[in-house]
Amino acid sequence: MYLVAVLGNLLIVLAVGSDPRLHTPMYFFLCNLSLADIGFISTTVPKMIVDILTHSRAISYAGCLAQMSLFTIFGCMDDLLLTAMAFDRFVAICHPLHYAVIMNPHLCGFLLLMSFLVSLLDSLLHTLIVLKYPFFKNVEIENFFCDPSKLLHLACSRVFTNNLVMYLVAAISGLIPILGILFSYYKIVSSILRISSSGGKYKAFSTCGSHLAVVCLFYGAAFGVYLGSAISHSPRKGAVASVMYAVVTPMLNPFIYSLRNRDIKRALRRLLSRVV
């Protein structure tokens, strides 16, 4: 699964980079989303593979902090890049005549930079809280990786502090991106409903079908992890839900975009024909 995820996302990056016709804002964000997915899955699965081979699940304090920080950065990057892609689809469908002017390279670069800076801020917030409690010894984390929510729960012994931190982190990495995506799709659906022909409606909706599928998969798995852990205290169920969120979602994203997008299919065929 790890190899499929990495190779699939790398193929998306190579296909977009090798085809000048795909050098558009939508594929610019898709390319960076694939890179973020590679980083996201690479923070957890290689260590898990080593643990399986060595029959040891121990991790150092510094290694756990590094894993948590990188996981938070790439996970938050996924959130914010999906939001930027939703904004791109909103401009393309609701303001098609001004699309080239609004979604200029400067704005795309700015959105990417802001996504990284906000993700870095979110990661630093996690790290600073956990660093206050540097003497974790023989602590067992009920997951296959250093889950930020589990570490925050261990670090924040006070219930009020723990809830305050969790709500703040959720607002930065979850609530704001979700509100941005919902607002964009509210405007998109309103604009599509005003189109008279059914063919025009289908064409307009098909341009954002892949993105909507990835959004549902990503947030559905993420909500499943955190809502499931809140309702059920079973470590096994939490670990299975985390696998869906941290492993399966990055693996399926390339398939969703390649199977539902003709431009990506054509670019992949040209790329493979050059290699062969």
- In this predicted structure, the answer to whether residue 10 has a pLDDT above a threshold of 80 is yes
pLDDT of 195: 75
Cβ neighbours of 189 (radius 10 Å): 14
Q: What pLDDT, in 10s, does the model give residues 137-177?
A: 667 777 777 777 677 666 655 555 556 666 666 666 677 88
- Residue 138 structural domain: 2-275
* Residues contacting 168, CB < 8 A, separation 6+: 125
Q: How confident is the model at residue 103 (pLDDT cuts 50, 70, 90)?
A: very high
Cα 117 → chain centroid: 15
- The count of C-alpha atoms lying within 13 angstroms of the C-alpha of 266, restricted to the half-sphere facing its C-beta, is 7
- The rounded distance, in Å, linking the Cα atoms of 59 and 192 is 51
List of residues 6+ apart from 33 with CB closer than 8 A? 78, 81, 82, 85, 253
pLDDT(230) > 60: no
Report whether 188 contacts 208 (CB < 8 A): yes
Q: What is the DSSP letter of 248?
A: I
Selection from 213, 217, 201 nearest residue 260 by Cα: 213
> What integer pLDDT is reported at residue 113 of this predicted model?
95
- pLDDT at residue 255, as a whole number: 82
For residue 172, what pLDDT is reported? 64
Tell me the per-residue pLDDT of 28-37, one tens digit each, with 9 for 90 and over.
Answer: 999 999 999 9
Q: List, for residues 53-63, the tens digit of each pLDDT value.
A: 888 888 887 88
Q: What is the dihedral of CA 228, 231, 232, 236, to 10 degrees?
A: 20
| Angle of CA points 197, 202, 204, to nearest 5° | 95
pTM of the complete model: 0.85
Q: Report whether 102 contacts 95 (CB < 8 A).
A: yes
Q: By percentage, how much of the chain surpasses pLDDT 90?
A: 18
Residue with tokens 């190899």: 3
- Condensed to tens digits (0 to 9), the pLDDT of residues 256-267 reads 877 667 777 788
Residue 105 has pLDDT above 90, yes or no: yes
- Each residue's pLDDT tens digit, 112-137: 999 999 899 888 887 877 777 656 66
Say which range, 11-15, 58-62, 272-276, has the weakest mean pLDDT: 272-276
pLDDT above 80: residue 232: no
Least confident of 10-14, 23-27, 249-253: 249-253
Average pLDDT over the chain, rounded to whole?
A: 80
Q: What are phi and psi of 197, to 5 degrees?
A: -80, 145
Sign of CA dihedral 239, 164, 36, 228: positive
Q: Give the Cβ contact number of residue 150 at 10 Å.
A: 20
Q: For residue 253, what is the domain's CATH number?
A: 1.20.1070.10
Number of C-beta neighbours around residue 276 at 10 A = 5
Count of domains for the chain: 1
